[in-house]
Each structure stands twice: as structure tokens, then as C-alpha cells.
Structure 1
Amino acid sequence: MAHLRELTISLLDWESRAVLEALTREMQRLKVLAETSDDEDEGADAGNDFLEIGGLLERLQSQAKSIW
């Protein structure tokens, strides 16, 4: 069983945009990797990471929209 820990941070608007953009780019990279990888394990891992980062991105976007 995994022990989940939580990190709380505060970001300025430009820092938030940089993080959101970086997550969006990483999602695109992982999507391409999942779709094109010849290694089944690598493709599956990339697909799983894509979904996890998607959830994080949605959470951050939701919080950012409520502030901006």
C-alpha cells in the first residue's frame, strides 16, 4: 500500500502559467510515446502517466480559473 503525501505550494500567475504549459507539453509527449512505442511496457507506462498528469492538469486549471 502506498503512503500518499501532500505538497502545498503558492505560485505567482506567471509561474502557474509556466507549470500549466509544461504539463500540457509533457502530456503531448506521453501521448505520442504511448501511441508509437514499439515496447508494450513503455507504451503502457506512458499511457498511465498521461492519465495521471491529465488529472493533475485539470485540478490545477480549475484552481487557476477560480483565482484569475
Structure 2
Amino acid sequence: MNRINRIPRSNQKITTGDRLNEALGALDLHLSQDDLARIETAVPLDAVAGDRYTPDQMRMLDSEKR
């Protein structure tokens, strides 16, 4: 499945190009089935849920609705 994700910390003063290069380095990372199982055990998919921000925070952040 193809996904578009924000580059973490790309809004910091270090250039986005630096962050892009760092993120592209992840393409060289290969996780084994054991690695994936250990991650799933540590953080089950159903254990992570909910909104990142409260509705009040979203109103402050959502500049397109102003």
C-alpha cells in the first residue's frame, strides 16, 4: 500500500532536504518477520488509537478554516 506521510521534524530549522535524506534512508531498512512480531507485541495495533489533538487544539491549528 502506498502512503503519503509527513516527514517528521520537517518544520524545524534543519532543512527539509536534510530530513528528506534521513527519511529516504529508511528505504534501506529491512525488518524481518521476527522484528515485525516484536514490534506488534510491544505496540499492538489496537493499542494506538484516538486523535492526536483535542478539538480545541485542532481549531487553533486548522488555518484553512479561518
Larger radius of gyration: 2
Same-fold call, TM cutoff 0.5: no
The structure where helix makes up a greater share of residues is 1
> Could you tell me the TM-score, scaled by structure 2's length?
0.31
**Higher RCO (C-alpha under 8 Å, 6+ residues apart):** 1
